[in-house]
A and B are shown apart, each in its own frame.
Chain A
């Protein structure tokens, strides 16, 4: 065990003070360092929009943005988001994408939808940053890590492409 852990940097046993900004609101809480970001959001902060599908980084239902980068929050430990800006499905600014999903039937049971919408936002931002065309092929690749077991993806991709115009 860590005998003189101060020599090796901050010792984070027990619980840590976590400061981060979630959807524009500064948050401070005490959590175990390896607590999953998904549990911090859903249980500690009551933000239940992000869903748990597989719990092992395969399905994308828990996708959030950490400092603008899309991650599966079920495999990100709390100690790695100290000082970060986190954007979840509850964030303001996703209304246009949400409306596109409504207009094109992009949601069925709804479990994958928050992840799909957050990932669509990340995709649109990446296209803008890289001056890439947000076409069907690019949307397919961006959303490949977001699994849906209801729709067969056609309507989800149509929704994502409709979000480009909005």
Chain B
């Protein structure tokens, strides 16, 4: 049974279409996830709203020194944008490793967030950058922190009549250092075993503004709250980094055994990869 497909051309039409479908309907952006799910029969939506022609959702623009990214922007759009490379360098690094060229040409930021896969490559970066997600519906617009937005396994705070309009990446703090690592079986086209992202600066000899996210270590992309707390305001020495990353691997990770990795491997790798990354940022900041 083929689902009904609605093809809005404007945001207004898309929001109206959302009013007319059941909660068992799906939003289609670039299709890199949903087409596979539908074709395999894993998802049988009542209706599909195809957003691809809603061009007003595909933009990148300056906002208060930060970057607002329309939900329909593809990974390729991010890579090709000088503004994105300057303002959201970590997100561009992550977008470059999402998959092969063919996937990057089609996979969208909004689709990645809407799918909310625990192995999302972009999610951890959005936590480290303190990104905000704008949701719109006919009732109005609201903007949530990424922490409020991403609620659980493939679950978000998006109501069934809302769609993700854009993501906002705040302006960079002076002196801020940013790092990203993806661990997978190969450089291109692999689902991640671990993704980490961290932002920090060194202010009068102490670590400040520490923000960190990770993926594939829990049922969702998440903030490494223990790591942030253990590093903030501390001296950037080896003992601090060792203690903080160990505590984070124990307290922040809710790793599982699955086909891609074991829980023990994920914890160990989180600790070692984050340890190396933080040392690199500290060295670079001196």
- In the assembled complex, A134 has its CB within 8 A of some CB on chain B: no
Contact B36–A10 (Cβ < 8 Å): no
Q: Which residue of B lies closest to A62 (CB)?
A: B102
CA distance A1 to B21 in the complex (A): 5
Complex interface: stretch among B3-11, B149-157, B257-265, B270-278: B3-11
- In the assembled complex, A77 has its CB within 8 A of some CB on chain B: yes
Kindly supply a per-residue 1/0 record for chain B positions 23-42, scoring 1 wherever the CB is within 8 Å of any chain A CB and 0 otherwise.
Answer: 00000100110011011100
Counting residue pairs across A and B whose Cβ atoms lie within 8 Å, the total is 137
- In the assembled complex, B210 has its CB within 8 A of some CB on chain A: no
Nearest-neighbour CB distance to chain A for B85, whole angstroms, equals: 13
Q: In the complex, which residues of chain B have a beta carbon less than 8 angstroms from the beta carbon of A56?
A: 36, 39-40
CA distance A33 to B52 in the complex (A): 13
Kindly supply a per-residue 1/0 record for chain A positions 5-29, scoring 1 wherever the CB is within 8 Å of any chain B CB and 0 otherwise.
Answer: 1011111111000000000000000
CA distance A63 to B260 in the complex (A): 27
Contact A1–B2 (Cβ < 8 Å): no
CA distance A77 to B38 in the complex (A): 11
Contact A34–B48 (Cβ < 8 Å): yes
Contact A145–B189 (Cβ < 8 Å): yes
Q: Which residue of B lies closest to A15 (CB)?
A: B2
Kindly supply a per-residue 1/0 record for chain A positions 54-82, scoring 1 wherever the CB is within 8 Å of any chain B CB and 0 otherwise.
Answer: 01111010010000011110111101100
Q: Knowing A1-B47, A60-B100, A77-B50 are in contact, say whether A36-B105 is a contact too (CB < 8 A).
A: no
Contact A9–B17 (Cβ < 8 Å): yes
How many of chain A's residues have a CB under 8 angstroms from any CB in B? 40
Partner of A70, one of B31, B52, B105: B105
Contact A144–B20 (Cβ < 8 Å): no
CA distance A5 to B40 in the complex (A): 27
Q: In the complex, which residues of chain A have a beta carbon less than 8 angstroms from the beta carbon of B21?
A: 1-2
CA distance A35 to B52 in the complex (A): 15
Contact B20–A2 (Cβ < 8 Å): yes
Q: In the complex, which residues of chain A have a beta carbon less than 8 angstroms from the beta carbon of B9?
A: 9-10
- In the assembled complex, B256 has its CB within 8 A of some CB on chain A: no
Kindly supply a per-residue 1/0 record for chain A positions 125-166, scoring 1 wherever the CB is within 8 Å of any chain B CB and 0 otherwise.
Answer: 000000000000000011011100000000000000000000
Partner of B189, one of A4, A32, A58: A58
Q: Knowing A33-B50, A34-B48, A142-B101 are in contact, say whether A5-B6 is a contact too (CB < 8 A).
A: yes
A-B contact pairs, 27 of them (CB 8 A): A1-B46, A2-B6, A7-B17, A7-B20, A8-B15, A8-B20, A8-B49, A9-B10, A10-B8, A11-B6, A12-B6, A12-B50, A13-B4, A13-B5, A33-B7, A34-B2, A34-B38, A34-B48, A57-B32, A57-B102, A70-B102, A71-B102, A75-B106, A76-B106, A79-B7, A122-B101, A145-B100
8 tightest A-B CB contacts, nearest first = A145-B100, A8-B17, A144-B188, A9-B8, A9-B13, A33-B5, A12-B5, A75-B35
5 A-B pairs besides A2-B17, A8-B19, A12-B4 with CB distance below 8 A are A12-B50, A13-B2, A13-B4, A75-B31, A77-B50
